[in-house]
Amino acid sequence: MKIGIDARLWSESGVGRYIRNLVKNLLLIDSNNNYVLFVLSGDYKLIKSEILSCVKTGKNKKWKIVKADIRWHTLDEQLNFPKVLEKEKLDLVHFPYFSVPVSYKKPYIITIHDLIIDHFPTGKASTLMPFLYKLKLIGYRYVITKASDNAKKIITVSKETKKEIVDHLKIMPNKIEVIYEAVDDKVITLQENSLRKKYFLYVGNAYPHKNLNNLILAYSKFNKKDIPLILVGKEDYFYKRLKEKVSRMKLSNRIIFRENVTDEELAKLYKNAIALIMPSLMEGFGLPVLEAMANKCLVLASDIPALHEICGKNAIFFDPDDPEKIFKKINFVYLNKSDRKIKILIQRAFNHVFDFSWQKVAEKTLEAYESCLSI
């Protein structure tokens, strides 16, 4: 079987980490199929180097990289990407993101990570002018609906997101495969914890559904001035807007922003935090909670279905709509961080991480590929 994988987002965060780990583990476990990766020219050398290192230890020697300098969410993607794909005469294509050229008629599978934009469709979630944002939203809904209808199978990352796909896109449940993500080894450190943990931590973007306004309001009530909140994310419009809010509230000395953090630095931040705080109003999966658990960092999480599904009973939950309740859980954890029950919870959460692995992701994804061509 000749399988194409759209790897144009290889160097991006989020979906990029999913693509990188999936591809590398497929090459480690699958000796039968041929793989063709479609990549941006700027990523070509990096990807070739990383693939070669996998091939040395893996089973698969049958791979090819094709340059496809076509950006996602563009007219170019809809008109010209199908031509690039068709040249390779593929049996199956995996689009690991919903941005699919809908005119492509051969068999394909897509991964839908979440449907957050269906719940947060306002201009507040975009830097575009309202008119352009409405056009973008119409395009998104057309593409994801058409792509979902035409896909042989849909992979998603949680049962909660599967339910969303069934409800919002009207897809039959038996067409959707839930395959949980896992923690990248690069964000796990074996170093011992510092003797004194000195901060609370948030990891992720600052989009409206992440609910950072309520987290900041909650933290403003926390009276331990020497215990900062560190926000780790990417410098963009949304984080800049958040920085302005923090400045107006005169909290700049207590809420610290960290950008361009390496995987090694992130692992250390997890390891030495009092707790990770995940205040989201909605998530598709919530990878930072697993990354924190893998580094023996306590998790404080929103009481929402996806985070319950991923965390199980291995986190402390709070109502994300109420800053006062978020504050009370932060204060409780600070006062009880050395308590035996907290330490037991952290160890139990660490053990829970072993239920998730990228090898399992690759094995189940390969099964999905094979089932597509037997339909």
Closest by CA to 88, choosing from 68, 69, 74, 58, is 68
Q: What is the spatial distance between Cα 213 and Cα 234, in angstroms, rounded to a whole number? A: 17
Per-residue pLDDT of the chain (375 residues; tens, 9 = 90+): 999 999 999 998 889 999 999 999 999 999 899 999 999 999 999 999 988 887 766 666 789 999 999 999 999 999 999 999 999 999 999 999 999 999 999 999 999 999 998 888 665 556 667 777 788 888 889 999 999 999 999 999 999 999 999 999 999 999 999 999 999 988 987 766 655 679 999 999 999 999 999 999 999 999 998 999 999 998 888 899 999 999 999 999 999 999 989 999 999 999 999 999 999 999 999 999 999 999 999 999 999 999 999 999 999 999 999 999 999 999 999 999 999 999 999 999 999 999 999 999 999 999 999 999 875
Residues 6+ apart with CB under 8 A from 338: none
Residue 9 φ then ψ, to 5°: -95, 20
Are residues 100 and 79 in contact, defined by beta-carbon separation less than 8 angstroms? no
| Neighbour-count burial for 243-255, b at 16+ CB within 10 Å, e otherwise | beebeeeebeebb
Query: Among residues 196, 187, 215, 353, which one has the least CA distance to residue 280?
Result: 215
Query: CATH classification of 185-355, choosing from 3.40.30.120, 3.40.50.720, 3.40.50.2000, 3.40.50.1220?
Result: 3.40.50.2000
Structure tokens belonging to residue 328? 């009370």
CATH for the stretch 2-182+357-372: 3.40.50.2000
98 CB-side CA count, 13 A:
19
For the chain, the straight-line distance linking the first and the last C-alpha, in angstroms and rounded, comes to 15
| Closest C-alpha to 320, from 202, 207, 160, 211 | 211
Domain with CATH 3.40.50.2000 in the chain: 2-182+357-372, 185-355
Edge-first strand listing for the sheet containing 229-233: 255-259, 229-233, 200-203, 275-278, 299-302, 316-318
Among candidate residues 5, 22, 372, 351, the one with its CA nearest the CA of residue 182: 22
